[in-house]
């Protein structure tokens, strides 16, 4: 099986290199190639990637620091669609901050073959608690993250820390929507796959360790002033109102979109 893995990175050279090595060394039955979009790292990431590319097929793309997550993933996905003429069996959307378990992608492949579906690799923290994975919407834009004991439940979307997609699905659906800069691009992509009729399931087992993002210093940090939280909310790593409205309107309709934008500001004003 040939797997094309795509991820974006910035200034965490050790994790970036280790993630590639661990996937290749831990899944010997799979043939990996990588597209790595480096968004302006200053810590020698590109140089180390070039060294590693002597033994592992890696297409290195360089950004200026303005791509962020969704922009970086979109750049890599568009390059794959337009420039790579090779035939692959799977696309792996991944993050380099996942400490992948041995044989984890082989297990995702087996599950995908069985269900002919997108399989979302579920991650946990070092205490064994669920962190990221497939998501199921329950009311409007409120959702739950599905655990490994819920692998028979069809999901609606995903955090793309580790997502295995049959390559034919990817070729039909294309890349991440260009409206997104950092967050929401992966959620939106999952919802698009579902609308196209493709099934999405969580993995049977954890695929690796990945700690949850710390909200300290973000717009969700209730210890910050209202003014500071409002400022942080509109940054690319926050919840910019135009992108948030676009996502909600596209996937849930106008009424929920208006409610969602207003609710975000109320949350800050009420210090929640």
| Mean pLDDT, residues 44-69 taken together | 95
Q: Does one domain contain both 205 and 230?
A: no
Asked if residue 230 and residue 164 are part of one domain, the reply reads no
Cα 248 to Cα 239: distance, rounded to the nearest angstrom = 12
In a domain, 175, yes or no: yes
**Is pLDDT of 222 > 90?**
yes
DSSP 100-138: EPTTHHHHHHHHHHHHTSEEEEEEE-TTS-B-S-EEEEE
pLDDT at 86 (0 to 100): 83
Residue in this structure with the two tokens 């290195």, named with its chain if needed: 60
Same domain, 53 and 145: yes
- CA–CA gap between residue 25 and residue 5 (Å, rounded): 14
221 lies in some domain: no
Q: Is position 22 within any domain?
A: yes
Tallying the residues shown for the chain, one arrives at: 272
The pLDDT value given to residue 65: 92
The confidence score (pLDDT) of residue 160 equals 97
Do 134 and 254 share a domain, yes or no? no
What's the CA angle centered on 182, arms 137 and 92, to 5 degrees?
Answer: 70
What percent of the chain shows pLDDT beyond 70?
100
Asked if residue 219 is part of any domain, the answer here is: no
Please tell me the total count of domains within the chain: 2
When pLDDT is averaged across residues 224-250 and rounded to a whole number, the result is 97
- CATH of residue 65: 3.90.550.60
The answer to whether residue 220 is domain-embedded is: no
Within a domain: 215: no
Domain boundaries, position 174: 2-209
Are 141 and 239 in the same domain? no
- Domain match, 70 and 200 both: yes
Give the percent of the chain with pLDDT over 90. Answer: 97
Shared domain for 201 and 83, answered yes or no, is: yes
Question: What's the pTM value of the predicted model, to 2 decimals?
Answer: 0.95
80 within a domain of the structure (yes/no): yes
Given the DSSP bridges, would you call strands 200-209 and 118-124 parallel, antiparallel or unpaired? parallel
Residues 118 and 35 in one domain: yes
First to last CA, the chain: 47
Same domain, 21 and 113: yes
Q: pLDDT grade, residue 116 (50/70/90)?
A: very high
Query: What pLDDT does 101 receive?
Result: 97
Q: Do 254 and 180 sit in the same domain of this protein?
A: no
Q: Same structural domain for residues 55 and 171?
A: yes
Same domain (yes/no): 76, 205:
yes
């Amino acid at each position: 099986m040939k797997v094309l893995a795509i991820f974006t990175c910035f200034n965490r050279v050790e994790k970036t290199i280790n993630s590639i090595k661990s996937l290749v060394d831990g899944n010997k039955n799979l043939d990996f190639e990588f597209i790595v979009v480096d968004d302006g790292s200053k810590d020698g990431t590109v140089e180390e990637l070039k060294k590693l590319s002597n033994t592992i097929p890696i297409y290195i793309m360089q950004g200026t620091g303005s791509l962020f997550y969704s922009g970086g993933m979109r750049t890599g996905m568009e390059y794959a669609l337009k420039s790579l003429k090779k035939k692959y069996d799977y696309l792996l959307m991944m993050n380099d901050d996942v400490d992948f378990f041995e044989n984890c992608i082989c297990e995702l492949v087996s599950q995908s073959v069985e269900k002919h579906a997108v399989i979302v690799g579920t991650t946990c923290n070092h205490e064994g608690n669920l962190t990221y994975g497939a998501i199921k919407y329950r009311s409007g834009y409120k959702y739950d993250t599905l655990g490994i004991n819920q692998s028979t439940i069809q999901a609606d979307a995903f955090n793309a820390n580790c997502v295995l997609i049959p390559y034919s699905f990817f070729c039909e659906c294309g890349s991440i929507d260009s409206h997104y800069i950092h967050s929401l691009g992966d959620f939106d992509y999952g919802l698009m796959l579902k609308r196209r009729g493709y099934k999405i399931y969580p993995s049977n087992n954890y695929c690796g360790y990945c700690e949850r993002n710390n909200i300290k210093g973000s717009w969700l940090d209730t210890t910050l002033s209202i003014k500071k939280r409002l400022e942080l909310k509109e940054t690319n790593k926050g919840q910019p109102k135009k992108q948030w409205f676009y996502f909600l309107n596209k996937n849930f309709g106008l009424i929920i979109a208006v409610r969602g934008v207003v609710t975000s500001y109320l949350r800050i004003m009420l210090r929640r």
